[in-house]
Structure 1
């Protein structure tokens, strides 16, 4: 039966709204990827922000028998977050509640809560959630539970299965269950008696089958996420306990997880780490059994290939290059709540393995700057290998588990398989304390021969792990499509039949994430493989992991960097395959999502494990799109920037007057008319600022005061006060007042109006004018410094950043934040203090590491700082916020709600960003200089 997705789309849009449901080909393709090596394009993408959205979608899916895949953050590595039919993804607004119990022993988390955010809320109480996957800063609770994701320290004792208290679930038939609520359980018992009876009987029969129940216990004695959590049938008798634990690791094939309550675990206050360097893998592996004590929280193993991969990389220990070939490293960590216990633990660890010769003495460090480098070596493996892989290749991370006593032999066997199947780049590392190995290979999938080779490799891995060592094909990444063909091979016929009965009991029509975990297609693991087209140095490094989505200001609006890169890859793949028309069509359809709305904030670079930079890529892509007419306009602006800047400032002052006389309606109509004439006319908004002015130099008085050169950046000298600001004093005036109050003689470049760092041209891809303007600016500023005697101060972080970037500056140039912190605060002690103010630490502040100084400044002049969580970038993107206000609105959609009612003012250090913050918050956001000036005013 064919499925009418057009009808489904219209039905869902009527219920959820047009924005929540799309069949746009570009956006469908953008959501065809997760962190795995699979690509499956859905027919529809539905964004759900409430359980009602999920219920409506399930109802429509059942009516049309359309398959549906649930997706959280999409960091999954086994292909379980992509699927045909309907892809229902968690939105960026719903399912994000966090509730900590009064005794701090449980925490209730919405499915879209990011793991690290949950831990940040628990940290003041020395608590955390048990699961600690490497993706914790990006992955969501729904995915953590669905995959039974673990990590370096939680092992098999603090994962989701062991720490889940209850869950709120919606099943395929629309039935709802809260396993932590007695009334809900009673209602479910009446609604679904057959499911309860089936689960009860299955648990009884499984316990009665001694061979099967022993097999299940044996399989879960080590890390194991292959197949379903059959241990629920032997560990529990109450059907709701069974449901609670079967959901863990079910990968969206049993039910939608709305909310989870975890038992929290203790977060130790003190930590110490050591690098134990062994002469070979056998010795390193033999050290694991004696280290499995309370004294050791983690033990991470790096094989010789891993060591070679990180040797010589920035931040890595220099002595790595001196190690003998074949060496292996154990990174050991101990944790405790007091220093004495920690010291005892570290000594126990050293004593436990002192019988094994090591290449270097084992010394634990409690210095975060020291052991931070150790863990950087461990975490650096993935980005280093992923970033340096051959262009056009994929990066695949698999994870297997063995009995601890088999680790050394298994590692040797895996290495032999790398050689046998021509994957010389393969490395082995992982959570040795739990018998868990990760291995990385970077295969090409250009030809069928490449895919066949990978298939042969995986078949041999399965024989090794299952037949030789009776281990786990998936230790913590979930089954997905990657090892679905090997589930029966690992578990045996009886256990596999049990899994099929469970799937049929929960999802009789098979609509939920079909083909994941259970799949009769023996070749599903080598189908729908991503084709990594060679595009650009920036694009080619991307591994499509999704780490960038948390901080990207346009993720909710349309796309994150991962989606933009995915789309660009497909455009180039179409071109390289000869489908030039298809490529051109997709390029045109993707212009708004991929190019026009990227803010180029470059926060993706910070989150990216392979240091990708979508912002720089998009700027490079914009360059060739500048036609002759646009280039002439840009050239004119650069050549006559003084006049252009003056006209802009005057224009906003005139606009302020028109609005004052006529009101918003008439002013808006005038602006709309202007936009029909030129796209350079901004959209009208009542929060528009007045015009500004140039700073006034200090009159010469013949004194020997220290002198500073003050450069007022474009934003502050163009845009003055907004209606929300408490007074009309401009930033140039405030900076001059503050500098003079601190005892400085202020000089101003004569041609300030004409000078610019070039940011506005670079953002459009016009590097010629951008670099010329920066050179012009630097030349003019240097002339004012009296051969470098006077420092230069710039009052906008983004301008400072670009001026300093790639420039050989032989004079002192500081941002106003640095100058206030380093040279003004101590000269001007506060006369008064604010009670509470908001602080924004935006993308440029993050790149420049200015956040700490900004907080120090605010702490000097206010009793409390409010920094709304989850606000990483304002989305104003220079002047883009004037022409594409939807980006700013989306990026700051939660800002107003996150500000306490008593907050009436906020601060940052870039006028354009402050305009966007003011617009979306409804309160005045101004430069930090305003706060300092007011609080030091006598």
Structure 2
């Protein structure tokens, strides 16, 4: 029976509203992108922030027999977070509770909590969650549980299966269960007696079947996420213990996981790492069994191809180029809570493998700078290979597991398969202590023969892993569509039939993530493959991992960098396949989400493993949107910027006068009319500032004072005090007062109004005028430095950053934050200190590494710093906050609630950002110079 998705859409809209439900083609396409090589676009997307929204979605899905795919962060690699029908993705506000027990031995986490955020909360107690996947800084707890994700150190002893205490679950039929609550268990047993009895029966059947029980125990003696967690059927008898552990690794096919309670594990205080370099892979692999002891926390193996891939790259050890061909590296880490035990552990480790010759002496280091370089080599593999792959290729990371005694021969066999099937770039690395190999290949999927080639490769991998070594086709990445065709091959008929019975028991209607984990289509792993169309250097580097989504200020509003890039790829694919109409339509429909609302803050580069920069990409895309009329306007602004800047500042004073006389309604209507004439007219907001002024330093008296050139950036000299600010003092006046109080003679360019770093033009994609204005400004400042002897101070971090980047400046330019920290703090001790104040460390501060100095300044002049959690970018995006206020509102939607009630003022170092922070917080945000000036009067 076909499903009428238009009716499904209407019913979901009536229950959830338009913010939570969409059938928009652009967003359906972009939001369905995950870290796998699959592309399946759902008919509808629901963004859920509450359990009620999930309940309503499942109710509609049941009524129409519509499939539902649950999606957390979408960092999964095997295609388990994409599907047809309804894609239910976790929103950016709900399911984020973190509750730590009094003894710190348990932690309860909402499904949307990012793994590293949970560990950050547990760190003060020297505890952490057990799972430690490489995606921990981006993946969510719901996905960690659903995939039984493990990682470098947790092995098979501290993964979700071994450390889960209880879970709150919503089933496809609408029943709810808290496995940790007795009353909930009783109620569930009454509502779902058939599930309880079926689980008891299947458990009894399994335990009484010696062959099957032994098979299960053997399969889980090494890492294994292929299929369902059948080990629960032999490990537990109580039906709720069974449910608790069967949910782990079920990949959203059994129930929706609302919340999980973990047993926490110890986080060691001290670490030491060593790089053991062996002459060949056989020797390296032979070192692994002796290292399977308490003293060793982690052992990562890198083959010769891996070593070659990173040799000579930035941050890698220089001696890699001296290694003999065929060498292999075992990266070893020991951890302990005291240095004496740590030293003992490292000694035990060296003694355990001293009988094996190494190319270099094994030496442990406890210095983070030293062992950090070791681990940078391990973590650098993926970004290096992903970022340097040929254009148009995909990045596929598979993970398999073997008995440790089989690792050496298995590595040789895998390498042979790489060459046999045309993937000579293939590398092998992984969690050696657990017998877990990851391998990376970068195939093309342009033609059917490319797909057939990949299929032949995977068939041979399956034969190798399953038939020759009886290993795991999926060690820790989850089954997904990538390995669903091989589950029966790996497990055998009996176990596979047991899995099918479990799926039918939990989800009789079969609507939860159908086709994932179990699939009778033996070609599902080579269907619906994502196409990596060639676009440009920025786009082509992206591996669509989703790491950027945590730091992007527009992820909640509409799109993250990954989603923008995948949309651009689809436009290019349509063009390259001759569908010009489809490409043009998608480009037009996607402009708001992809181009107009990107803040270009470049925070995506912080977490991007391939150093991609969406901000620079979007600015280049905006260049193409500048028509001749727009270019004339931009040219006029650049050539007459002094007058434009003065008019703008005066205009805000006039605007405040109108508002004072007429109120917000009339003022807003006037602005609305103005916007019909020009998109440069901002939306009215009562928090708008008054106009500002140019600085007025005192005339020099004598020549013995040190001199500084002060350049007031556009924001501070254009926008003055907001209604929330305690007085009308402008930033230029504060800076001059502060510098003169510290004993400096202040020099200001005579043509200040005309000068600009060019940021406002670059943000629009007009690099010609952007560079012209920066060069004009740099030249004017240079002429005032007395051949470089007088330093220049700029009072806005983003302007300082733009002035210094990609430019050859032979005189000293400092941001006001640097100058206050390095020079003024010693000259101006506090006469009094503020109480608790808020501090914002925004995108420019992050890029410039200014956060530590900003904190030091506030600590000097205030008793306490409050940095609201999760606020990393204001979303004001320079002047964009005036014309696209929804970005600022979305980025700072939690700011007000996360500020303690006693906080009445905040500080940063960029006037535009401060305006956005003030607007959304309701308190005054001003430049740090105000704090220092007030406390040193």
Smaller-chain TM-score range?
over 0.9
Give the C-alpha shift of residue 19 in structure 1: 1.3
* 1:754 to 2:759 alignment: no
Q: Note the alpha carbon deviations across 1:704-739, whole angstroms, 9 max, x for none.
A: 111000000000000001011111110111111111
**Corresponding residue number in structure 1 for 2:571:** 571
Q: How does 1:355-394 map to 2 (within 5 A)?
A: 355-394=355-394
**Corresponding residue number in structure 2 for 1:8:** 8
Q: Note the alpha carbon deviations across 1:772-806, whole angstroms, 9 max, x for none.
A: 00000000000010110100000000000010001
**Corresponding residue number in structure 1 for 2:30:** 30
**Corresponding residue number in structure 1 for 2:807:** 807
Greater mean alpha carbon deviation, residues 495-504 or residues 11-20: 11-20
Give the C-alpha shift of residue 698 in structure 1: 3.0
**Corresponding residue number in structure 2 for 1:411:** 411
**Corresponding residue number in structure 2 for 1:66:** 66
* 1:311 to 2:311 alignment: yes
Distance between the aligned counterparts of 2:93 and 2:583, measured in 1?
Answer: 33
Give the C-alpha shift of residue 286 in structure 1: 0.6
**Corresponding residue number in structure 1 for 2:720:** 720
Distance between the aligned counterparts of 2:776 and 2:703, measured in 1?
Answer: 31
* 1:349 to 2:349 alignment: yes
Distance between the aligned counterparts of 2:487 and 2:300, measured in 1?
Answer: 27
Give the C-alpha shift of residue 32 in structure 1: 2.7
**Corresponding residue number in structure 2 for 1:674:** 674
Distance between the aligned counterparts of 1:374 and 1:922, measured in 2?
Answer: 47
**Corresponding residue number in structure 2 for 1:498:** 498
Indicate the SS of the match to 1:397: strand
Q: How does 1:611-630 map to 2 (within 5 A)?
A: 611-630=611-630
Q: How does 1:44-443 map to 2 (within 5 A)?
A: 44-443=44-443
Give the C-alpha shift of residue 872 in structure 1: 1.4
**Corresponding residue number in structure 2 for 1:836:** 836
Q: Note the alpha carbon deviations across 1:399-451, whole angstroms, 9 max, x for none.
A: 00000111001001000000110101000000001000000000000111100
TM-align CA RMSD: 0.6
Distance between the aligned counterparts of 1:234 and 1:903, measured in 2?
Answer: 56
Distance between the aligned counterparts of 2:597 and 2:485, measured in 1?
Answer: 41
Greater mean alpha carbon deviation, residues 431-440 or residues 12-21: 12-21
Distance between the aligned counterparts of 1:661 and 1:293, measured in 2?
Answer: 78
Indicate the SS of the match to 1:809: coil
Does the 8 A contact of 1:30 with 1:563 survive in 2? Answer: yes
Give the C-alpha shift of residue 390 in structure 1: 0.3
Q: How does 1:451-850 map to 2 (within 5 A)?
A: 451-850=451-850
Give the C-alpha shift of residue 743 in structure 1: 1.0
Distance between the aligned counterparts of 1:33 and 1:730, measured in 2?
Answer: 47
Distance between the aligned counterparts of 2:866 and 2:344, measured in 1?
Answer: 40
Indicate the SS of the match to 1:409: helix
Does the 8 A contact of 1:72 with 1:139 survive in 2? Answer: yes
Indicate the SS of the match to 1:835: strand
Indicate the SS of the match to 1:212: helix
Does the 8 A contact of 1:43 with 1:84 survive in 2? Answer: yes
**Corresponding residue number in structure 2 for 1:910:** 910
Give the C-alpha shift of residue 752 in structure 1: 0.4
Give the C-alpha shift of residue 312 in structure 1: 0.3
Greater mean alpha carbon deviation, residues 560-569 or residues 653-662: 653-662
Give the C-alpha shift of residue 654 in structure 1: 1.1
Distance between the aligned counterparts of 2:769 and 2:926, measured in 1?
Answer: 29
Give the C-alpha shift of residue 742 in structure 1: 1.1
Greater mean alpha carbon deviation, residues 697-706 or residues 547-556: 697-706
Distance between the aligned counterparts of 1:431 and 1:865, measured in 2?
Answer: 41
**Corresponding residue number in structure 1 for 2:901:** 901
Does the 8 A contact of 1:698 with 1:747 survive in 2? Answer: no
Distance between the aligned counterparts of 2:600 and 2:589, measured in 1?
Answer: 20
Indicate the SS of the match to 2:314: coil
Distance between the aligned counterparts of 1:248 and 1:860, measured in 2?
Answer: 49
Q: How does 1:855-874 map to 2 (within 5 A)?
A: 855-874=855-874
Indicate the SS of the match to 1:380: helix
**Corresponding residue number in structure 2 for 1:929:** 929
How many residue pairs get aligned? The number is 937
Greater mean alpha carbon deviation, residues 632-641 or residues 851-860: 851-860
Greater mean alpha carbon deviation, residues 698-707 or residues 440-449: 698-707
Distance between the aligned counterparts of 1:861 and 1:397, measured in 2?
Answer: 50
Does the 8 A contact of 1:427 with 1:439 survive in 2? Answer: yes
Distance between the aligned counterparts of 1:646 and 1:372, measured in 2?
Answer: 51
Distance between the aligned counterparts of 1:114 and 1:368, measured in 2?
Answer: 25
Indicate the SS of the match to 2:300: strand
Indicate the SS of the match to 1:233: helix
Give the C-alpha shift of residue 831 in structure 1: 1.3
Structure 2: state its 5+ residue gaps: none
Give the C-alpha shift of residue 145 in structure 1: 0.2
Distance between the aligned counterparts of 2:268 and 2:858, measured in 1?
Answer: 31
Does the 8 A contact of 1:302 with 1:428 survive in 2? Answer: yes
Distance between the aligned counterparts of 1:902 and 1:343, measured in 2?
Answer: 48
Give the C-alpha shift of residue 890 in structure 1: 0.3
Indicate the SS of the match to 2:365: coil
Distance between the aligned counterparts of 2:620 and 2:5, measured in 1?
Answer: 37
TM-score, normalised via structure 1 length: 1.00
Give the C-alpha shift of residue 697 in structure 1: 2.3
Indicate the SS of the match to 1:156: coil
Structure 1: state its 5+ residue gaps: none
Give the C-alpha shift of residue 895 in structure 1: 0.6
Q: Note the alpha carbon deviations across 1:914-934, whole angstroms, 9 max, x for none.
A: 000000011111111111111
Indicate the SS of the match to 2:66: coil
Distance between the aligned counterparts of 1:861 and 1:353, measured in 2?
Answer: 55
Distance between the aligned counterparts of 2:512 and 2:630, measured in 1?
Answer: 50
Give the C-alpha shift of residue 333 in structure 1: 0.4
Q: Note the alpha carbon deviations across 1:599-619, whole angstroms, 9 max, x for none.
A: 001111111111111111110
